[in-house]
A and B are shown apart, each in its own frame.
Chain A
Amino acid sequence: MRRKTIQMAGRRWLWLVLPLLGLLAAGCGSRVAPNEPPEIVYGEDVCDQCNMIISDDRFAAAAVVEEAPGDYAYRLFDDIGDMLAYREEHPDLDFVTLWVHDYNTREWLDAATAAYVVAVEIRSPMAYGFAAFATPEAAVAFAQRFPDGQVLTWEELQQYFVDRYR
């Protein structure tokens, strides 16, 4: 003869509440400045568009988005093209600043001020073939290495992206 049993409940409800309170407190701690680029941990941080690990600082990019009034957050990308793709796919987000790396010096550049080279043979992490430079002269010099190398401004690069990938 087997017995029926009913699971009984009810002990220490506090445990249910404590972790949630902890999470709430932890969530209030982070602050991102809208005009500063992030520090990417190469080999560990992951691209917000493709989920791949970011490893190559020549092509890594970042965006500052305003998730709520006065509340900023970073989005990290392994390829300038992935940043543009992410922006296209998230029209609801307010993109405050976009950052790219100078191909030669690996320094952060404001994406709007950089000059760009586009070439099929630039094997960037997601194969978009975009490279950024601090000056148009540096971009022109680099573009000469490729038969199909084009030098573009930021506006021209965005249009190139839309024409080719959207």
Chain B
Amino acid sequence: MNAERRGLGIRHLLVGCLALAGLLGAFLAGDAAAQPEPPFDLQAAIAQAPPGSTVEVPPGLYRGPIVVDRPLRIVGRQGPNGERPIIDGGGQGTVVTIAADGTVFQGFLVRNSGIDVDNEDGGITVDKAVDVVLADNRIEDTLYGIRGIEAHRLVLRGNVIRGKALPVARRGDGIRLWQSENCLVEDNVVEGVRDAIFWFSDDTTVRRNVFRGNRYGVHMMYTDGMVVRENLTEGNSVGIYLMYSVNVLIEGNTFRQNRGPSGYGLGLKDMDAVTVRDNYFFENRVGLFFDNSPASVNIYQEIRRNVLAYNDMGVLLMPAVARNRFAENTFLDNLEQVAAKGGGSRQGDILGANTWEGNYWSDYVGYDADGDGVGDLPYRSESLFENLIDRYPELRLFRFSPVQQTIEMAARAFPVFKPQPKLTDPSPRMDPLLPPTAPLGAPMESAMGWATAALLALAVLPAVALRAGHPARPADVGGRPRSAADATEEPMHPTPPPAPTLSPDEPVLVARRLVKRYPQPGRPWWSDATITAVEDVSFQLFPGESLALWGANGAGKTTVLKCILGLLHYEGELRLNGLDLRRQGKQARRFLGYVPQELAFHNELTVADTCRLYARLKEVSPARIPQVLALVGLAGQERKEVGALSGGMKQRLALALALLSDPPVLLLDEPTSNLDVNARQEFIDLLKRLRDRGKSLLYSSHHLAEVTDLADRVLVMAEGRIVAEGPPRTVMASLQGASGGAPGPGEPEQPDGTGPRPQEVFQAG
């Protein structure tokens, strides 16, 4: 019995030990156990295959180095779970070398190269072979990614390249093309490497790639005729840097958060005949940098229809940069819109050697009396403080401080301090111009990136829509064959950040002593005479509250909304959700949705395409679109073209776009002014439901019904001031008493739905 028990115990012990040993062995074997070396000698298969044939490689782990010395089509076959054949360099040398013309190498995971910088150890080297195609490979943990040395007509398509985890200064290049002409580099992702380099490689096209987290997203040198289109460069030290080349097109790219040393989105050094158009530059240290470009005296360069938003500097020119034409660009809330490095008092000379015409400037303080979309006064960039910063960069420490205010005030008050304008744009656009496609397709990891895109959409939509009665022009819609609907096919951010939680006791929006002045038309140059559009306006808006700005045309209602939207500079204080709209405008305005008075949709787009376009701009998941369309009563209208919608349905569509990111605060400018009586009541009912769901509404109106039916409180405005405030019934009653003729809130309106003109009321105010 005891012996039997002893025997059982020994057997159990042995089984346990064996099991433990097995587990330990599997653990130590790691990848090798998961990827057993198949009975397939890849190098031998290559050596035995007839030139021009296909070698299909099953999943498994293959040891490098592999050398392809005959033209073959080598295709990695995926396993049932998507696993691909792995070629592992074992930490030595270059993993795969291709030395045969016409080779196709596709579908592999190539990893674990050596780290010898002198030998440029890497994943795949194409060595003096032409017409090679590298497609759909993953290259990981290699010093260099893909090198092409005298590899003309090389095609890199759909590869993902991630470098070794080394400090950026010790990494190799993700892509290095050297003396390789007529290459095509498309749809690749290059991350965590030093640079993607294109040197001595004329007529190469680089398109739809993502360059992220590198030193230089792209560094191009001595490469004429290059086309760089629709790429995303994000989080690099420098996005794209171009040097010593001629005839280069930079089009439709996004440069975002390139903020390392230098921190240029796009830099041009000794370049000639570069065209930069339809690009987006967000949150870089410097959006566009020019150094001796164009380099030749008879060359002019065109910088057109780009959006430069929220960069520390929009454009920076080195001394002696001249002959660049800046037209139809949007300069939106860059800390410094344009600067000339080291220019000091010569800034005007440097910037004036380039032409600036028809750009949108978010700090423009003029007006457009004739409604032609062009400001009636020239835009002049003249800031004494910025001039001082350009000469003494250390002064940036004092930005937004009383020092800056004092210096600017001195410049205005005493002409001796008044700086020469850095630049003059004789015909500034009143509205931003959105490039034809917004290449924001690649997912953004950071909340700041999301906020930027959302803010851009927020800034652009109202400004475009505020073009009263001006339908979208073909140039605004886009001149390229790619449609906005096509653009929406690209992936988007999977989930938008949640809306903030607001305390019901705290005002979500606070205006304190808001003042907006414009220069007086026709004033002499020495005069600072102004006209006041808004004077000393203070109010609060609480969560779930509906607040009306009521007044006649010209009372200042829309100006207040524009100040909140960041479209106008102002005096006083505006706070949204506790954030200062002047200093923290980017963060704050993500909590805003805006419905403009006049809508300028692209009529040829469907409702669904329009929603997808704006969802993409705001980086909101497309899953949100059916929800907002149902919320505003447009479910089932997705396929209808916007041009075929009624006025009421267009207004609902504008509301749906404002609701895409689920903002807690909605701003509406005369929300029902273009609707008939029935559509107006339906829209007001819809807004009530939103208010009851907790949205805060601030809207301007001169329609009595909008005020009495929807507002919890009303601020009556006249001549830029608030002249009465309170619940609608109370305010109406007091105004009625004061004027003797104004209607009470319950009185019927006129047939046109507007009720008596409020001017009668305001005379009493």
Contacts and interface: CB of A to CB of B under 8 A. Distances in A.
A, B in one complex: yes
Interface of A: 1-13, 15-16, 18-20, 22-23, 26, 42-46, 50-53, 55-56, 58, 123, 126-127
B184 interface: no
B410 interface: yes
Interface in B392-427: 392, 394-395, 397-398, 402-403, 406-407, 409-410, 412-414
Contacts of A16: 403, 406-407, 410
A7 B413 contact: yes
A12 B291 CA distance: 39
Given A9-B414, A10-B413, A55-B168, A43 B532 contact: no
B260 interface: yes
A45 B403 contact: no
Given A2-B532, A13-B410, A123-B178, 11 more contacts: A2-B719, A9-B409, A9-B413, A11-B409, A15-B406, A15-B407, A16-B403, A19-B395, A23-B394, A43-B169, A43-B261
A4 B528 contact: no
B413 A8 contact: yes
A92 to B, nearest CB: 15
A33 to B, nearest CB: 24
B394 A26 contact: yes
B539 interface: no
B262 interface: yes
A2 to B, nearest CB: 5
Contacts of B243: 50
A4 B402 contact: no
B167 interface: yes
A127 B221 contact: yes
B614 interface: no
Contacts of B414: 9
B520 interface: yes
Interface string B225-257: 000000000000110010100000000000000
Contacts of A44: 261
B517 interface: yes
Nearest to B147: A123
Contacts of A23: 392, 394-395
Q: Which 4 A-B pairs have the closest CB atoms?
A: A9-B413, A43-B169, A42-B169, A55-B169
Given A52-B241, A53-B237, A3 B528 contact: no
Interface string B620-640: 000000000000000000000
Contacts of A43: 167-169, 215, 261
B597 to A, nearest CB: 22
Interface in B704-740: 719-720
Given A9-B412, A10-B413, A53-B238, A46 B392 contact: no
A78 to B, nearest CB: 11
Contacts of B53: none
A138 B427 CA distance: 64
Given A46-B262, A127-B221, A51 B267 contact: yes
Contacts of A46: 261-262
B222 interface: yes
A15 B385 CA distance: 12
B199 interface: yes
A56 B164 CA distance: 17
A144 to B, nearest CB: 14
Given A42-B169, A43-B167, A50-B269, A6 B529 contact: yes
Contacts of B237: 53
A7 B530 contact: yes
B531 interface: yes
B194 interface: yes
Contacts of A13: 406, 410
Given A43-B168, A127-B199, A7 B412 contact: yes
Contacts of B221: 126-127
A64 B530 CA distance: 54
A96 to B, nearest CB: 23
A61 to B, nearest CB: 16
Interface in B520-548: 520, 528-533
A73 B452 CA distance: 40
A56 B170 CA distance: 7
A128 to B, nearest CB: 11
Nearest to A22: B394
B396 to A, nearest CB: 11
Contact of B261 (A19, A26, A53): A53
Most chain B CB within 10 A, of A26, A43, A56, is at A43
B531 A4 contact: yes
Nearest to B720: A2
B532 A3 contact: yes
Nearest to A103: B118
A9 B291 contact: no
A126 to B, nearest CB: 8
A12 B520 contact: no
A56 B219 CA distance: 15
Contact of A6 (B241, B406, B528): B528
Nearest to B407: A16
Contacts of B720: 2
A52 B262 contact: yes
Contacts of A6: 528-530
A12 B410 CA distance: 10
B194 A55 contact: yes
A138 to B, nearest CB: 14
B360 to A, nearest CB: 25
B520 A4 contact: yes
A116 B170 CA distance: 23
A10 B169 CA distance: 51
A1 B260 contact: no
15 contacts: A5-B530, A8-B413, A9-B414, A15-B403, A15-B407, A19-B397, A20-B392, A23-B394, A26-B394, A43-B261, A52-B219, A52-B262, A55-B169, A55-B215, A127-B222
Contact of B291 (A18, A19, A22, A51): A51
Nearest to A55: B169
A42 to B, nearest CB: 4
B261 A45 contact: yes
Contacts of B394: 22-23, 26
Nearest to B291: A51
Contacts of A45: 261
Given A42-B169, A53-B260, A5 B532 contact: yes
Contact of A51 (B168, B269, B407): B269
A22 to B, nearest CB: 8
A51 B532 contact: no
A47 B762 CA distance: 65
A13 B291 CA distance: 37
A141 to B, nearest CB: 13
Contacts of B529: 4-6
Nearest to A8: B413
A127 B170 CA distance: 18
Most buried by B among A16, A26, A51, A127: A51
B637 to A, nearest CB: 44
A42 B178 CA distance: 24
Contacts of A1: 719
Contacts of B719: 1-2
Nearest to A20: B392
A42 B200 CA distance: 26
Given A4-B520, A53-B215, A19 B238 contact: no
A22 B395 CA distance: 10
A53 B531 contact: no
A11 B406 CA distance: 7
Interface in B116-164: 117, 120
Interface string B663-689: 000000000000000000000000000
Residue with the greatest number of chain B CB neighbours at <10 A, chosen from A13, A42, A127: A127
